[in-house]
Amino acid sequence: MTFPPAPRAPRRPTTLTHFGDPRVDDYVWLRDRDDPAVLEYLEAENEFAASALLGTEALRERVYREIVSRIEETDVTAPVRWGEWWYYARTYEGRNYPVHCRRPLGDGTFPESLDEDGEQVLLDENALAEGHAFCSVGVLEVAPGHGLAAVGVDFEGDERHSVSFQSLDGRPAPQETIADVGYSVAWTSDESSILFVRMDDAWRPFELWRHRLGSDPAADVLVYREDDERFRLSVGRSRDGAALLVHAGSTMTSEVLALDAASGDGLRTVWPRREGVECSMEHLVAPSGVAWWVATTNDGARDFRVMAAREATAPEFHEIVAERSGCRIDGVDAFARHLVVAERLHASASVRVLPLLDGPDPFGPDLAARGFVVASDESPTTTVIDQNPEYEARSVRVSQTSLVTPASSVDVDLGTGERVVRKRRVVRGGYDLGNYVSSRMWVTARDGVEIPVSLVHRRDLVSSPDAPGSVPAAPMPMVLYGYGAYEVCIEPTFVSSRLSLLDRGVAFAIAHVRGGGELGRAWYESGRLEHKATTFHDFVDVANGLAARGYTEPSKLVAMGGSAGGLLIGASINLAPSSFRAVVAEVPFVDVLNTMLDESLPLTVGEWEEWGDPVHDEAAYFGIKSWSPYDNVGVAAPDGTPSTYPDLLVLGSLNDTRVSYWEPAKWVARIRATSPLTNVVLKTDLGAGHGGPSGRYDSWRERALVFAFVLDKLGILDAPGD
């Protein structure tokens, strides 16, 4: 496909100097959203994107129809028991948003089928979204008595919610609206008040407020303010209803405070702040009636352990689940007679159930030995804890999925471990998982470390798909996805839209590079701060390793990543542009040095623990400068020839508060100026935030646009089976 002439952002050189190091940035002006030229430029880029992608329009529409055709558009989630109700959500064909519902518990038997007779609609997001281009419900918190709900809505994409109240039992609902609320809200037990967090100008949840229902929000009470700009606040109600927990956390340090659940008063410290020590807290009233705090922490345990303290004697914590080599403990959910532990085994998410005892020590000396790991039927499999609001539960709801198996809602008997599938995501169109094969392989990085890679492709592309080490007869077209930051794990999960790639013979691989958390805390630390470049080397080494083994080749390989994964992609193509045919970068965090130097921007100060502090630390400044994608665009080849990048599709959002729109815009402008032979398309959503479009049909259309771009670059324009 021939690209028409692209827009050229005017160059307005600005010299930026820090630690005596002058840098000339031609595109600082794109940060000024009030400059009419900025919006004009973004609109020109969108017009260019529409014309440049015109050749994929028919394919895009075909892929979109395929995506929709696989979805059970009118569907219902597996109901979850809470108190005297079953809670669930419906979707309807043609509607963008879910409808939240509940029905009476009845005799407690799980409702195998759910008709609309006898159900109560709590919230229809479609009605809420009428007249709005964007609508995101970030808060839907039902009160403990089940008669009221707090509903927080964002119509801009800036993640600031307006919270109002809705009656669920016929009583008059409070009429006030609370503005600028974050994602975190908790009810007091008497339902007289809610606690909520509010964000500062940098979009950091930094204040905890209490609002008394029926009162003027102007009279709301400030309960706590977090003055350390690295720390973010959240508030939540414990599952047993006995405590309101406030977590204050930076990337590497935590503090936990508690409030009286009945009144929202009496703020006290449960886990004091110590630099480098992390903690998440649960509250538990044991079978004996004694109240306990249960903490998941790295205090004395690199890959975390579980500790407990009687509420009356806190903070006298003692260990109840020890750190285990090769097993990262991610968190604990406390129930009346069990602890349910989220952990990582062999780079996969898993769940362990630990029974409590009736005596004065509910944990006992052999707690870990008494438990069991929730079984799974394939490897690699992702098993994660799902919604479980009921404290006196006899089973725990988990979600299980793999690269070939659609997500299932599974109830696990807490006593026997027996699994009952309550709902498996339907894939319409005759999907047969036997037509595909998933595997886990390991690719050696340049420093000798083995990098796990999750891979899925059509079974018929490999002669002996079930034989270890079997390779395809010919290199496969492939998408290689990566993230590698914040200790986030990219799980091998099923995505039905991906079938539009797989069915056309395109393999999909996830590079679990360092900087993520797939193999524990050491894996994360090996790709963080001064070791950040390791993340990018890993990704390039995986790409080259897959090619060397015959799974793919550079002319058939597309790299994909979003947000910090966009940073990964940007840095990787600076290192090895010839290793990839094309690139998709979604809301990419690419102007890292400039962003980390600006303390007024959202997230910057809190992110110093992830990337380094270039404002005060000279080594961090030059370290970030050495790999920041924007600062390393167009580094000439040894013979002086400007670098030519793979074809790029770059997606941004004007209202993004996490990766500002100017980051992808500046990056594209610099690539265009320094690498004139590169084909690059920038599409900026002028009405959305970090997550892109809010409606599901709109998001499917964007996915179809991305996949059509990928298929076009791989030279695959026919439908499956054509």
Assigned domain for 98 exists = yes
Mean pLDDT over 645-670 rounds to: 94
The pLDDT of residue 636 is 59
Residues 549 and 689 both lie in one domain: yes
The pLDDT of residue 719 is 56
The pLDDT of residue 87 is 98
Per-residue pLDDT for 720 more than 60?
no
The answer to whether residues 191 and 213 touch, using CB atoms and an 8 Å cutoff, is: yes
- Pairing between strand 372-373 and 582-586? unpaired
Assigned domain for 79 exists = yes
Mean pLDDT over 132-148 rounds to: 96
Burial class of 289 by CB neighbour count within 10 A (0 to 12, 13 to 18, 19+): exposed
Confidence bin at 313 (pLDDT 50/70/90): confident
Mean pLDDT over 638-659 rounds to: 85
Cα–Cα–Cα angle for 715, 543, 576, rounded to 5 degrees: 90
Residues 98 and 145 both lie in one domain: no
Assigned domain for 673 exists = yes
The pLDDT of residue 2 is 55
Given 277, 298, 329, the domain boundary residue is 277
The pLDDT of residue 207 is 98
If one counts every other C-beta atom within 10 angstroms of the C-beta of residue 495, the result is 15
Average pLDDT, whole number, for the chain? Answer: 94
Q: Domain span at residue 163?
A: 137-277
Given 131, 150, 175, the domain boundary residue is 131
Q: Residues near 579 by Cβ (< 8 Å), separated by ≥ 6? A: 540, 543, 544, 547, 554, 557, 572
Confidence bin at 94 (pLDDT 50/70/90): very high
What is each CA distance from 182 to 251, 488, 545, 646, in whole angstroms? 19, 22, 43, 39
Assigned domain for 159 exists = yes
Residues 111 and 155 both lie in one domain: no
If one counts every other C-beta atom within 10 angstroms of the C-beta of residue 441, the result is 18
Domain count, the chain: 3
- What is the identity of the amino acid at 348? S
The answer to whether residues 588 and 561 touch, using CB atoms and an 8 Å cutoff, is: yes
What are 328's two structure tokens?
Answer: 């990262």
- What is the identity of the amino acid at 4? P
Mean pLDDT over 646-654 rounds to: 96
The answer to whether residues 510 and 476 touch, using CB atoms and an 8 Å cutoff, is: no
Residues 153 and 231 both lie in one domain: yes
Q: Cα separation of 684 and 664, whole Å?
A: 9
Find the catalytic residue in 408, 563, 628, 643.
Answer: 563
Assigned domain for 607 exists = no
Given 277, 312, 329, the domain boundary residue is 277
Residues 207 and 178 both lie in one domain: yes
The pLDDT of residue 378 is 87
* 73 SS3 class: coil
DSSP per position, 434-451: GGEEEEEEEEE-TTSPEE
Residue 410, CB half-sphere, CA atoms under 13 Å: how many? 23
What is each CA distance from 48 to 45, 287, 555, 639, 681, in whole angstroms? 5, 65, 25, 32, 8
Per-residue pLDDT for 609 more than 70?
yes
Assigned domain for 411 exists = no
The pLDDT of residue 326 is 78
Find the catalytic residue in 250, 541, 690, 712.
Answer: 690
Mean pLDDT over 633-637 rounds to: 73
Residues 106 and 235 both lie in one domain: no
Least confident span in 328-332, 362-366, 506-510, 707-711:
362-366
What are 599's two structure tokens?
Answer: 């303390």
Per-residue pLDDT for 4 more than 70?
no
pTM for this prediction: 0.93
Residues 57 and 79 both lie in one domain: no
Find the catalytic residue in 330, 631, 656, 685.
Answer: 656
Residues 107 and 161 both lie in one domain: no
Residues 465 and 509 both lie in one domain: yes
Mean pLDDT over 93-122 rounds to: 94
The pLDDT of residue 56 is 94
CATH number at residue 482: 3.40.50.1820
Residues 494 and 537 both lie in one domain: yes
Residues 83 and 206 both lie in one domain: no
The model's pLDDT over 26-75, given as tens digits with 9 standing for 90+, comes to 999 999 999 999 999 999 999 999 999 999 999 999 999 999 999 999 99
Q: Cα separation of 559 and 542, whole Å?
A: 11
Token pair 């009356």 in the structure block, residue? 312
Assigned domain for 258 exists = yes
The model's pLDDT over 376-434, given as tens digits with 9 standing for 90+, comes to 988 889 999 999 999 999 999 999 999 999 999 999 999 999 999 999 999 999 999 99
Assigned domain for 619 exists = no
CATH number at residue 180: 2.130.10.120
* 718 SS3 class: coil
The answer to whether residues 354 and 370 touch, using CB atoms and an 8 Å cutoff, is: yes
Confidence bin at 693 (pLDDT 50/70/90): confident
Residues 681 and 653 both lie in one domain: yes
- Percent of the chain topping pLDDT 90: 87
Least confident span in 294-298, 338-342, 378-382, 455-459:
378-382
Is 690 considered catalytic here? yes
The pLDDT of residue 694 is 81
Q: Cα separation of 603 and 203, whole Å?
A: 7
